[in-house]
A = this chain, B = another copy of it.
Amino acid sequence: MRTGERRPTLADVAAQAGVSTALASIVMRDAPGASEATRRRVLEVADRLGYHPDSRARLLRSGRSRLLGVVFGVQHAFHGDLVTGLYEAAEKLRYELALSAVTPRRDERTAIGGLLQDRCEALLILGPQSPTSELATLASRMPVVALGRDVRHRAVDVVRNADCEGLHQAVDHLVSLGHRRIVHIDGGRTPGTAERRRGYRDAMRHHGLDAEIRVVPGGPTGEDGATATAPLLTDPPTAITVFNDLAATGVLDALRRAGLSVPGDVSVVGYDDSRLARLTYLDLTTIAQDTAAMTTLAITRAVDRIEGETVTPRELVIPPHLVIRGTTGAHLAEKPA
């Protein structure tokens, strides 16, 4: 029974194995300096006792925590992908992750506070929302890496997606399919909007389509997408690039309700390659962020900072890539003039 039992400590293991705690410690840490026989004996006892080293005590003594704090939004599907990559990258460098979630009822400041108490050696913040000044204060005490969102302060490292290039790729793809009348529905006041819009404009110009440039104010939600689509229905373009996948679903819905077929009449490109985009019945062509690269770089950056390396540049901008699915198709014939 559990009652009355105490968790076994290293001293218990050492005693039962007939060695000093120091030696037992060496074995448990897999450090050099113990004979094969001792090693086996100690491990056997530890296993029998169900011993797990107390990371608190261990880290307290060794002065370091080898702990990287991660602040993420528990509602953001995309953050899930990032966390997956972060675990993997951290493990390779023998660091651990301490997760702290932002929820509708738990703000970023609270989430960060928890991690500070855990003595993380660096902070990785996914889509930081705190004012730059607060992040700067933090960054004066420990390395801070912002993931997926720009933070303009010289003490904060940033790893983010090349939004601009993403929209360039979307437009390139559509142009290669024969489209010319390509509209962009932007993200309203959502972070990243400006850069994606700029990517669209640049790309259109690059293809000599200056005259066709048309940006419609939108937003990040499905309804934003649907609303923004309405005014386009009287004289629809042949293709639409949308700020993100969620808004793109609204666009798709609005188009289909209006009797237009996708991609027959109109092609649509989203952004993020979220779970949504992959749903069979949506099958949305989209721009995927390179989460593997982003997470690896973020962890590497944090660890480099911890270990005092000088690193440049402060801002790492990772190119995304196009994922072609079923919502884009060739624009075969121009309307007869």
Contacts and interface: CB of A to CB of B under 8 A. Distances in A.
A99 B73 CA distance: 13
A79 to B, nearest CB: 8
A226 interface: yes
A308 B99 CA distance: 28
A93 to B, nearest CB: 15
A311 to B, nearest CB: 13
A99 B96 contact: no
A275 B280 CA distance: 17
A249 interface: yes
Interface string A246-268: 00011011000000000000000
A222 interface: yes
A7 B117 CA distance: 11
A3 B117 contact: no
Nearest to A96: B114
Contact of A119 (B55, B87, B100, B101): B55
Nearest to A1: B140
A159 B249 CA distance: 35
B54 A141 contact: no
Interface in A88-117: 88, 96, 98-101, 103-106, 113-114, 116-117
Contacts of A140: 2
A266 to B, nearest CB: 16
A228 to B, nearest CB: 13
Contact of A281 (B74, B75, B222): B222
B141 A2 contact: yes
Contacts of A18: none
Interface string A109-137: 00001101111000000000000000001
Contacts of A141: 2, 5, 7, 50
A19 interface: no
B84 A106 contact: yes
A57 interface: yes
Interface of A: 2-3, 5, 7, 50, 52-57, 59-60, 65, 74-75, 77, 80, 83-84, 87-88, 96, 98-101, 103-106, 113-114, 116-119, 137, 140-142, 222-223, 226, 249-250, 252-253, 275, 279-281, 308
Given A75-B77, A96-B114, 10 more contacts: A7-B119, A52-B116, A54-B119, A56-B56, A60-B60, A75-B84, A87-B105, A88-B106, A222-B280, A223-B280
